[in-house]
Structure formats: structure tokens, C-alpha cells
Amino acid sequence: MKTLTKKFSQTLAAAAVVIGATAMVAMPTQARDLPEIRDDVFQVANSGAYPPFSYVNTQGELVGFDVDIAEALAEKMGVEVNIQSSPWNGIIAALAGGRFDACICSMSVTEERKKAVDFTDPYYSAGLSVWVQESTDDISSIGDLSGKQVGSTLGETGNQWAVENGEGKWRNQTFQGLPDMMNALTTGRVDAMIADDVPVLVAMQENELPIKMVDVGELPRWPAAISIQKNKPELKAALNAALAEIKADGTYQDIVDKWIGKGVNIE
């Protein structure tokens, strides 16, 4: 049976190293509004394990769509930026607690998350999808997941959906990031996975993955936005203004073309 290509496996291994080193990165003890950030460094976090949005390349560099978006926004805002990785399942608590100033991390906007953090205007949208091995022929609906081992990423909307809808039906298995979960699917450790569609489609373009999307009917879609600590009005306004600028001058579409695919509209 095929496994993930060497490139994708190296990405996973490097991501684990960087995530493990996150605690050594100097971070503010309390999130700041824009005036304090201008006097210091804009501290931004993402998971580092969500290609093509954020991951560690074979040179040990944190790269991806969200990394380039963060750098472009910082340039428009006129601030220096430090982009770091943080484990996804604790990223909202870390942001709310002030470990960094913003999470530019493809975070879906949900009512539950709004209770803990504020969001900017959306910068793209993604929806959940169900994926199985290419050779699988007994899963064509949500009902067919009954009794199966189903993977999802801990803390993501896919995991929340899988837990809420799968109780008493299928067995949920959680993972720290997309590469690890995709490896589990291709090697048969899970029967199916529930994940955002865009990153999986991109991974399939770049790697020979023996998996396929199953049309199980309409699944939830959410806008993705930048999350910040509550009651930071100047920072929120500056980020929204910078987002509008990079969309107007073509910078945003250039980043989409680079990481998602030329001419692809993900808004």
C-alpha cells in the first residue's frame, strides 16, 4: 500500500520539531493593542502543521499561505512581525491568555470561538469534506461511517463536527495535524477522515496520494478569519484595513496563486 511521499513525510517530521520548540520563543505575557505592537514586534501564531497554509519545509522554515498573508499584512501595517507555531488544540487559549497578538492560522469563525476571541473580516472560506482510500467502495454516505474509525484534527471544526455527529455511530480518532492524519488514512489506521477541503486538495496536487473525496451531501462551510484577543479595536481595524489593501492591490491573489493554485478563488 502506498504511503505519503518523502516530501510530505519530511514536512510532518519538521513540523513536530518546530512545534516542540515553540515554548522557547519569546512571547508577550499580555496581548497588546496596535500602539504597543508598533513599539515592539507583532507576535503571530499558526499551527505549523497545516499545509499549504502553514508548515515547516525541509529547510526547517515555517512557510505557507498564512505565513505570507501575515507578512503582507504586517508590511501594510508598518510593523515588524514574528511568526511562530503553537499546538492547534491550545491555540485559542494561548491567544486569549496573551501569549501572542493574533492567530493568522486559517481559523474558522464559529459562535463558540467568538465567546473567547474576536475576529477580523474573513479572508477566505473552506468547508468540511470526507476522504477515504482510493480503493474504498463501501463508504458513500455519512451513514456508511457507522462502525468505522474516523480521523479528524484535534481542535478543528472537523473534529467538533465528527464528535457531535458521530457519537454512538463511529469511532473518532484525533490527530495533531493534517499530515499525520493523511498518513493514517493512506496506511489504513483510519477508515475515513473529515477535514477542510482546500488543504487536502492541494496536498493531492503535490503528492501521489491514493485517496478520494466522498460526496456525502452538504457539509458545513465556514469563513476563515484572523483571531485576536477581545477588546483590541485599533488592532482589529488595522488588520481589516490591511486585508482590504492586499486584496485591492493584487497581493492577496498572488499568495493564493502561489500556495493554492493560479486563478483559484477561495473567498
261 versus 130: the higher-pLDDT residue is 130
Say what the pLDDT of residue 31 is: 63
pLDDT digits (tens, 9 = 90+) for 10-32: 444 444 433 333 333 334 446 68
The residues, any chain, with a CB within 8 Å of residue 52's CB and separated by 6 or more, are: 64, 65, 199, 202, 203, 206, 259, 260
Say what the pLDDT of residue 7 is: 39
| Nearest one of 160, 142, 148 to 192, comparing CA atoms | 148
Q: Which domains does the chain have, with CATH numbers?
A: 34-125+223-260 (3.40.190.10), 126-221 (3.40.190.10)
Say what the pLDDT of residue 208 is: 83
**Burial 77-110, CB ≥16 within 10 A → b, else e:** bebebbbbbbbbeebbebbbeebbbbbbbbbbbe
Say what the pLDDT of residue 264 is: 60
Say what the pLDDT of residue 198 is: 87
Residue 1 pLDDT greater than 60, yes or no: no
Strand-pair partners of 55: 49, 63
pLDDT digits (tens, 9 = 90+) for 143-193: 999 999 999 999 898 999 999 999 999 999 999 999 999 999 999 999 999
Residue 8 pLDDT greater than 50, yes or no: no
pLDDT digits (tens, 9 = 90+) for 199-240: 898 888 778 899 999 999 889 988 999 999 999 999 999 999
Residue 116 pLDDT greater than 80, yes or no: yes
Q: How many CA atoms lie within 13 A of 218 on its CB side?
A: 3
Mean pLDDT score of the chain: 87
Say what the pLDDT of residue 118 is: 97
Say what the pLDDT of residue 164 is: 94
Strand-pair partners of 151: 173, 193
Residue 9 pLDDT greater than 70, yes or no: no
Say what the pLDDT of residue 222 is: 87
Distance CA 178, CA 119 (A): 23
Say what the pLDDT of residue 114 is: 96
Peptide bond between residue 51 and the one before it cis (omega within 30 degrees of 0): no
